[in-house]
Structure 1
Amino acid sequence: MGKSISLQLKDGTRIGAYVAEPAGTPKAGLVVVQEIFGVNAHIRSVADRYAAQGYLAIAPALFDPVQPGVELGYDQEGMTKGLEYVGKLGFDRALAGVEAAAQEVQRAGKVATVGYCWGGTVSYLSAIRLGLPAISYYGGRNVQFVGEQAKAPLMFHYGLKDAHIGEADREAVRKANPTAEFHVYDADHGFNCDARGSYDAASAKLAMERSLAFLAKHVG
């Protein structure tokens, strides 16, 4: 359904991206922000699903500046490598990739972001620093940025059984963003990903419905 393209960042660096086009005129643009496992088959399928709902979806390969073409599996080796790339990249360069991707799809109209895991925090930061409406799925590092004010609408999805994100962290994020839509599910970290053991179909379906309603309201 999708195709691979190249994006140029402000500093001249080039990164790859996966683009999924909707069948008709796009409702809006959507940047799909990867987990620590890269733009793998799951992230491409997420972009495809949003394209099927009418959005011009793009998943930038944010790790490309430190390691091109990353596609990791959901195992210990994948997690170790992914965390290493996250550490090397930093959030500023991740946001530069999101910004370039947003510019690429703004021909579709307004642009929002949706991110998962580490990408959930990058998505949250996109609302703070780029002013893009953002959906954050189980962003474990969200709590690091509660001191900064978001400049766009936000939606958060969290799993109650998520060992990576405790209630105190969730509540700190909620308190810092009183106007955000905030949803908690009886599910684990990564509940949206059908390639993971923690996948929860009912929670994933409900979160997707809520996310689509959020996008319809804020970007079209």
Structure 2
Amino acid sequence: MHPGHTSVPAGDGPFPGVVVVHDAYGMTAELRRVCDHLAANGYLVHAPSLYQRGRCLRQTFASFVADQGPAYDRLEEARAALAARPDCTGRVGVMGFCLGGRFALVAAGRGMFDAAAVNYGLLPAGKQEPAELARMLSAPCPVVASYGGRDKVVDVAEVDKLRAGLERTGIPVDLKVYPEATHSFLAQYTGALGMLIRIQGMSHDPAASADAWERTFAFFAEHLGGPTPAASPSAEGGAA
């Protein structure tokens, strides 16, 4: 297993797997909490650390810009390692936030995973045109995606283009924009990092967060074979 954080559900399994892709802040306590939240809901989880040395940091951002490279190799390694575990059903999804949301979306479009949860994934301007999206979504898996209507990092107009591109593929898609939510609305960062996020005009939205988690668990239950969730405000969790 690639270095990172692994969360294992209670019980004997087997469980469907989820690879969680961190945001630009890397392996934070908040990301670990998200992994634990997924595990508490019946998923075998691994979040690979894409930042390990200065070289890996540069490689990660180079992979982000190019939509290819070593970061995707590490995601595939994490997927294969989860699928090979005796306590995994062999079905593995991917979930990403912000920077990680872009990685999750691109990986989902290449048939690397069985389902994808994209949370305010970064969408470089100009790459959501039909021809570009067709190339990116060459072998797409089902996608559930959540964005904020007041996101100052991701252009909502680009999200609309993404929705159209996903729907053209004919795959199951659940994409929702929360009108009052900002970028990183699932995040529950505290301390200095939480203060930095608030200064940047981003904030946690409890209602949008709870709804996004409920949609994600329902989608994963259908497409990964996970447990059927009980609709409840306690479904809320977060990551930037």
TM above 0.5, yes or no, is yes
Distance (whole Å) between structure 2 residues aligned to residue 99 and residue 118 of structure 1: 17
TM-score, scaled to structure 1 = 0.81
The correspondence for 2:121, drawn from 123, 139, 147, is: 139
Aligned counterpart, 1:192 = 186
Q: Does 1:100 align with 2:77?
A: yes
After TM superposition, give the deviation of residue 194 of structure 1 in Å. 0.4
What is the identity, as a one-letter code, of the residue corresponding to 2:9? P
Instruction: Give the root-mean-square deviation of aligned CA atoms.
Output: 2.0
Unaligned segments of structure 1, at least 5 residues: 1-5, 8-15, 69-81
The correspondence for 2:176, drawn from 158, 172, 183, is: 183
Aligned counterpart, 2:27 = 39
Is contact 2:76-2:112 (8 Å) kept?
no
Is contact 1:29-1:112 (8 Å) kept?
yes
Distance (whole Å) between structure 2 residues aligned to residue 199 and residue 67 of structure 1: 32
After TM superposition, give the deviation of residue 20 of structure 1 in Å. 0.4
Q: Does 1:128 align with 2:109?
A: yes
The correspondence for 2:95, drawn from 95, 114, 118, is: 114
Aligned ranges for residues 14-93 of structure 1 at < 5 Å?
16-24=3-11, 25-64=13-52, 66=54, 86-90=60-64, 91=67, 92-93=69-70
The correspondence for 2:216, drawn from 202, 211, 215, is: 211
After TM superposition, give the deviation of residue 159 of structure 1 in Å. 0.3
Q: How many residues are treated as equivalent by the alignment?
A: 193
Distance (whole Å) between structure 2 residues aligned to residue 61 and residue 100 of structure 1: 12
With over 3 angstroms needed to count, the CA separation of the structure-2 counterparts of 1:125 and 1:142, relative to structure 1, is: farther
Is contact 1:36-1:86 (8 Å) kept?
no
What is the identity, as a one-letter code, of the residue corresponding to 2:35? A
Is contact 2:50-2:60 (8 Å) kept?
no
After TM superposition, give the deviation of residue 65 of structure 1 in Å. 5.5
SS in 2 for 1:177: helix
